[in-house]
Structure 1
C-alpha cells in the first residue's frame, strides 16, 4: 500500500523566502469573511496582491505586456508542479498554484483544503497525452508487457503517480509485482534516475522532456512508450480554500482566471510566436526541436461546463483511494463553480461545450 506524503522540494529555500514575505498576508481580512457560496466580488481594493506559481502564464503575460495595467499586484513565484505547490501551500506562501489533476486531490489527503478555480483540457487527448513512459537504456523492456519485476519511478502527489498505477492495472499487474521508487519528478530527477539505472521506467512529460531524453540517450537504447488509454490531460489552477474567504483576493482571483484563459488562448492562436519567443530564445531549443515540442503540446481547450472534468476527478479519486488506502470523497467538493464560466468567456476561440445551467455566481455543491 502506498503511503501518501508531501515531498520535500528542491526549491525549499524559495518557499521559505516566500513564507517570510507572506507573513500576515493570510491574516483574517479586515472586513467580513467571504462565504464560499457567496457571489464573487468584482471590485478589487487598491494594494491587493496575489502570489502566483504559474510560470507558463507568467511568460505569456510578460511577453505581451499584459501585466502593466492589471487591477491587482502579482508576485510571480517560480514554483510549479504538485510537490512544490503543496509545500508552498503548507507554508501559506502561495495564493495560486498550477498543476495537473492529482495535486489538488493529494492536497486534500494531506490535510490542505483546496479549491480548483480553472480547468484546461486537450482537444485530441488520445494523440497528445501529457505524459509518456521513459524506458532506461538497459532496462530490457520492449513493451508494457515487460514491466513485471522492474523498478518504476513513482510520485504519489502527482499525475505521474496515477499514470504508473493505471499502467500497471491495464497490463494486469499490481504494486507488488514491481518496485515503486518514490521520487519527485522535479527538474531532471526522472531522466537522471533512468540513465543511472536507479529506475527502469519513469513517466516523462510528452514534448520537451521526452525529446531531450531521446536526443541524449536513444543511441544508448533509451526509448519512450505510450501508457495505455487513459485521460491524463486535465490541468488546473487551484488555491487554498482559506484564500477565497478574503473578498479582495477572491476578486483578484476572478480577474486572474480571465488573464490565465487569455494566455492559454494566445498560446493556441500564436504558436509560431510562442515557439520562437519561448522555446527557441528562452529555452535554447533549435527551431526544429521547438516546432516538435509545440506540435506535441496539442491544442488546448477550456470547457464551459465542468461536469466532464468533475467526472474525471472522481475517477481519479476512486482509483487512487482504492490503490493507496485513502478516504474517498466527492470530487465536486474541490471545484469552486463560481469560477466555471469565467475562463471560457475570456477565451472564446478555444472554449468548448455548452454553457452550464448557471453562469458566474453558481455556488459550490
Structure 2
C-alpha cells in the first residue's frame, strides 16, 4: 500500500483545503494525502518558522509540496488569521487540538482552546462559503463515562459529561458537541462531518509525533516494567488521514460521525507481544509480564502520568468501524501493521534508546 494512500475518485475535482494543525502528526499526514490526491492546501500553524520542518516531513512521506502548499498563522486561542486562512478554500479539515502528555492543572487549559478554536474555524468556514468541514474529534467523545458493556461502541454514543472525565476527554466531547450545535443553529449551508479516532499510531516521520506514540516508544525503551491492564484502540495515521478525505467529499458523510479504528481493542500486553514476536532483538526491552493493578496504583502516587490512566485500569472497551466501511468504503490496515510501522519508524529515526 502506498505510504500516502490517497483516496482518489475521478469525479472529485482538485480543491483548495484548509488544514488546521498542519505541522502535527495527523495534520501533516492529511496534507500529504491531500497533495497526493491533487488538491491545494493551506495549512494553519502557530509559527511560520515550522515550514521547513513540515516540508521535510512531507518529503519523507514521498510528497513534493511545491507551490500547492501555503502556510498561514492562526491560533486556536485567537480570532486573528482565521478569516484570511479560510478565504478562497472549498473545504476544511480541522485537525488541531491540544493533547499534552501530562494532565493540566486546570481542565480549561484544554477545554477552552479545543471548544473555542473549533468555533473559530467553523465561523471562518461559514463566512468564507466553504462546503464542508471535517472535524477531528476522538473516541474520547464516544466511549467514556459509561458503565462496563460487552457490545462495541458506535457513533450513536456520546461520552457522558455528567460523570467525572479526564480533561482531554472532556475537551474533545465538549468541542464536538459545540460543533454540532453551531452547525444546527448558525451553520447556514456549511456541512459538518466528524472523524473520531482511537489511539493513532503508524509511521513516525520526525521527533514531533502524537502522544499515543509514546506508548510504543516506552515499550521499546524498556521504560515500562510491565504491561498495565489497559486496553487501547489502534489505527494507523495514514488511514485516519484517508478517512478525513473520504468524509470531506463523499455526499454520504454529510452530518455524520465516523469512528476510526482498525478493529478490536488490544491490551497493552497484546501490543507488547506483537512487538516482541516481530521485531526480534529490537524488542529486547519490551516487557513480557503484566502488572497487577495494585502496583500501578502505587506508582500513580508519585507519577501524575500514571495517575491519568487509573480510571481506565482493567476496563475493556471496544468500538466498531462498520459505519465508515459501509458508507465510505474505508478499509484500514490492521492494528499489528500500525503498531509495527510505528516501532520500525521510531527505530529507523533513532528515537528509541539503543
TM-score where L is the length of structure 1: 0.28
TM-score where L is the length of structure 2: 0.29
Q: Which has the higher contact order (CA 8 A, sep 6+)?
A: 1
